[in-house]
Chain A
Amino acid sequence: MEPTRYLLIYALTVLLMVSELLPLTLSALVGAALMVLFGVAEGAFTYEEALRFIDLDLIALLVAVMIVVEVVDRLGTFRYVAFNVVKRTMGRPHALFTALSLFSALTSLLLSDEAAILLAIAIIVSISRIGGLDPLPLSLASAIMVNLGGTGSLIGSVVNMALGLRAGFDFVKFASYLLPCEFMLYAVTMAFLYARYRASLAAPVMAELRVEVSRREALKGGLLLALLLASLIAASLLGFPESGAALAAALVALAATGWEPAEVFRRLDWDTVFFAGAFTVITEVLTRVRALEGFAEFTASVAGGSLTLATIFLLTIVTLASIFVENLAVALTFAPVVELFPFPRKEPLWAAVALGANLGGVGLPISSFVIVMTLGALRREGYNIDPWSIVRVSIPTTLLWLGFSAIYLLLRFNLL
């Protein structure tokens, strides 16, 4: 087996993704298909084995969480909270800025980044129009906080699900490793963004909210979210698979609303599901043909056998890679590399990859769909913002995160 051709297919896939020649998911599917084609033709594995390369545990957890969140979203829970945040901070620009940023981060801790930023942007565009405000400070702060939100929870992002399952971190363990870092980064980021935008903040005084989201429905959604979290915590304590617990919560969510399941399924993010499935095949093939061993050995040699250096090196390289390449692809590529590292203690390495992949997302305007959605939505609403202008905020934010995350990892895992 010659790993070079598989590495070339991998490089081609990444090139297709970065150059935008093909949509992200199609690029991953093409890469996976080529790898399987060559692998089966070469006798590296059979087609049946290749089908098992798809990480069904990840797909099950991803789809189950998406179902619960979609149901909760449709019940209006997040809108209810969001509109109340706006209502309570009317006319107080600094309070609105802080509350909306924190709301964005906390919703994305549970809700998908896509749904969280949609909600935040919709509110910001609306209040900006009403009050004639510049929407950029609020929207960029929310986008950055959405990107940060979810870093510390197993279900906070697809990256976390993929890494957590692979590392064998249950919901509680994942949170114990990364949630303190997320909260610390909230404080640091809020302080930075506040200092950056303090002078240009404003908040309109609006009419009373006209559409009341049903409090009862919103509460129902809140209970379903609590059920999901309780199931995941119970699964951690009882040693039950997280995906099974999440699927059970998804079933309850579907049954509790009485909606047609097809309506809910139609709105799930199938693009991400297919991307995750295809990229797990790519990385499994790379592992099978031993294409990543060289990189793992190189990294270990650069670190000189030091777990501390390897952790900081991984954090830096994964963050930088995630600025340019889809962060799920980066995380899935580095997961087998971590497994190949010759260190008996791998928790700091997994945490470094998770932090790097989550935090690299705001480096450039096209690093993550959260920023793309923010700029796209503002553009659509008639606010023409030069994408490069946000780099003045996004790059310092990424560097700040990188520095603080490195300090956190050193202290949390006693690496000093």
Chain B
Amino acid sequence: MVKEEGEKGFLERVIERRFKTYEEKCVEEIEFAEEALGKPHVMISIALPEGCEGLVEEFRRLPEDEEFINEVRNLVRRYLERKAAKLKAKQG
């Protein structure tokens, strides 16, 4: 069952803390495997938007914010679907 950030139990906190030691190596290995196994991915660098200067900490936490990542994923899917539909219409 998915728990909210604030509800994390002892076990989840311990796992998260211990995992930090291996996180970098893990990400590196996953990126390599994804490339090898044919799943394309992109990295986009986004600067803190204007007017959000008071939200630097929240901004920095976004890469770990699952809700945000899901929203971005949905946005990418919708955008690509729109783009595909436009292309199809042009070709049709």
Contacts and interface: CB of A to CB of B under 8 A. Distances in A.
Interface of A: 20, 79, 83, 86, 114, 118-119, 121-123, 125-127, 129-130, 206-211, 213, 271, 365-366, 369, 372-373, 375-377, 379-382, 384, 386-388
Contacts of A380: 19, 23, 26-27
Interface of B: 1-3, 9, 11-12, 14-19, 21-23, 25-27, 29-30, 32-39, 66, 69-70
B38 A206 contact: yes
A129 B27 CA distance: 14
Most buried by A among B19, B37, B70: B37
B37 A206 contact: yes
Contacts of B27: 380
Nearest to B41: A129
A379 B16 contact: yes
B33 A125 contact: yes
26 contacts: A20-B14, A86-B37, A114-B22, A119-B33, A121-B26, A122-B26, A122-B32, A122-B33, A127-B37, A129-B39, A130-B39, A207-B37, A211-B32, A211-B35, A211-B36, A369-B22, A372-B14, A375-B19, A376-B19, A376-B22, A379-B16, A382-B69, A384-B2, A384-B66, A386-B3, A388-B11
Given A365-B11, A381-B30, A271 B38 contact: no
Contacts of B69: 382
Contact of B36 (A79, A365, A381): A79
Instruction: List the 10 closest A-B pairs by CB distance, nearest first.
Output: A376-B19, A207-B38, A122-B29, A122-B33, A211-B36, A384-B2, A126-B33, A387-B11, A122-B30, A126-B34
